[in-house]
Amino acid sequence: MFVRQRGGTTSLVEAYRDPQGRSRQRILANLHGEPDILSALAKLAARRAHLRNIQEAMAKEAANALRGYRDAALLKRLQAVENQLATIARDGVIIKRYCNATSEEVEAAIAAYKTKHGDAEALVLGMAFAMQRDLPRLQEAKLKLRRLER
């Protein structure tokens, strides 16, 4: 088992031999852009908590709809959140199996990820207010935030 970066994707990979004896690689899980297993596990845990909050708010909004009318766009967004949570759950189980970190190390990594994400959000918001004329730098900051959220 090892981490492989290829084409902008970081994956947890295992090596094996096919029936003809040739060396092959099997992707076990996507590390969602993170360079190592611990960082990926922290990112998935933070993203899962964030997506569950969004899912809960959207479910309340759907339940409060008038006379059972359900907004198709809301249901589509809710389905997208559920798909993301399913992907996180699938990759998280595999990544957790191969992570040798203690629970304290995982909690510290989650806190570090949340700080990094919060800083990126604050940078984008601050730049949006202060630098409306400097669109390239604002777009670069937004891109950095989107990469953290994947």
Query: Is residue 124 included in any domain, yes or no?
Result: yes
Query: Could you tell me if residue 17 is inside a domain?
Result: no
Give me the domain span that covers residue 135: 109-143
pLDDT digits (tens, 9 = 90+) for 26-77: 989 989 888 889 999 999 999 999 999 999 988 877 776 655 556 677 778 8
- What's the pLDDT at 123? 87
Total count of domains within the chain: 1
Strongest mean pLDDT among 4-8, 12-16, 69-73: 12-16
For residue 37, tell me if it sits in a domain. Answer: no
Strand order in the sheet with 9-17: 2-6, 9-17, 23-30
- CA 104 to chain centroid, in Å, comes to 21
From 89, 92, 54, 90, select the one nearest 74 (Cα to Cα): 54
pLDDT digits (tens, 9 = 90+) for 89-141: 999 999 999 989 999 999 999 999 999 998 988 888 887 777 666 778 778 88
Domain-embedded: residue 137: yes
Residue 35 and residue 104: Cα distance in Å, rounded? 20
